[in-house]
Amino acid sequence: MKYNMLLLEEKDDIAIVSINRPKVYNALNREVLEELDKAITYIENNADIHAFIITGVGPKAFVSGADINELNGINSSDGTKWMLEGQRIFARIERSDKPSIAAVNGYCLGGGNELAMACDIRFASENAKFGQPEIKLGNIPGWGGTQRLPRLIGLSRAKQMVLSGEFISAKEAYDYGLVNKVLPDQESLLEESIRLAHVIASRGSISIAYAKKAINYSQETSLDAGLSLEAFGVGLCLSTDDQTEGVNAFIEKREPHFKGK
């Protein structure tokens, strides 16, 4: 499929999705979201892809936020619909059986931060800046910022970021728990993201999917309900060929060769 606003590159068992609007700091408009939705569908339906990376083209921005031209003059009803559509697409990333890594270079603001938070893992370059500046425009985050941010960094820090609209550095984002690792530059950022994506992709896809589902579920339910889902997942994995292969490989002191069965 041809994309106008994205680049999609496949590297063996992973895919790299790059937002490709560097002249406007990779701002998200409707066409970007539509293409991102289609890219996710392609990745989920491709049995050869087991993990994916989302990043931005150019050194200045991962995603600078929603395209202001899309918001200027929009009415309340249409604005709500656009927010709900973005939420749906970001939730697809979060709930996908295939793990995702956000490789954050430069500005990661508003909808960009919300996109990064929908990914399972976030790496950042030292020049990255994170923020939810919607309050400066007389509005609030609309693609998950008020919900995912406190889950990741805590209520008080989330309120500080959202209510002030101020940016935080990559180091602060790491200290807050918003990102997993900070890399020196964009090149090393992408290298480390690709390395980890390949590591994750080499694991059994069934166990990866259930592990991710169980961890996500922990944020929405009671401990007892989460433990029940975890036990069910273990039982399901025990019935797979991948489980047998994993145990045999361990006993035989070799690398396992999982087939997703």
Phi, psi of 11 (to 5 degrees): -125, 95
Least trusted range by pLDDT, from 104-113, 179-188, 207-216, 239-248? 239-248
Cα–Cα distance, 139 to 132 (Å, whole number): 10
Is the pLDDT reported for residue 246 higher than 90? no
What would the pLDDT profile of 60-93 be if each residue is shown by its tens digit? Answer: 999 999 998 888 888 999 999 999 999 999 999 9
Q: Which of 34, 35, 114, 192 does the annotation list as catalytic? A: 114
8 A C-beta contact, residue 233 and residue 211: yes
Residues of the chain with CATH 3.90.226.10: 6-201
Active site residue 114: yes
**Helical H runs in the chain?**
30-45, 68-71, 76-95, 111-118, 145-153, 155-164, 170-176, 186-201, 205-217, 223-238, 241-251
Greater confidence (116 vs 1) lies with 116
Q: Which of 10, 134, 230, 252 is catalytic?
A: 134
Residues forming a β-bridge with 9: 16
Are 25 and 71 in contact by the 8 Å Cβ rule? The answer is no
> What type of residue sits at position 35?
E
Which residues, in sequence order, are bridge partners of residue 147?
none
The ranges of the chain annotated as CATH 1.10.12 are 205-251
Place of tokens 């996908």: 96
Q: Looking at residue 245, what is its pLDDT?
A: 84
Query: What is residue 174's predicted lDDT score, i.e. its pLDDT?
Result: 98
Per DSSP, the three-state class of 88 is helix
Fold topology of 205-251: Lyase 2-enoyl-coa Hydratase; Chain  A, domain 2 (1.10.12)
Active site residue 134: yes
CATH of 6-201, one of 3.90.226.10, 3.40.50.2000, 3.30.1330.60, 3.30.390.50: 3.90.226.10
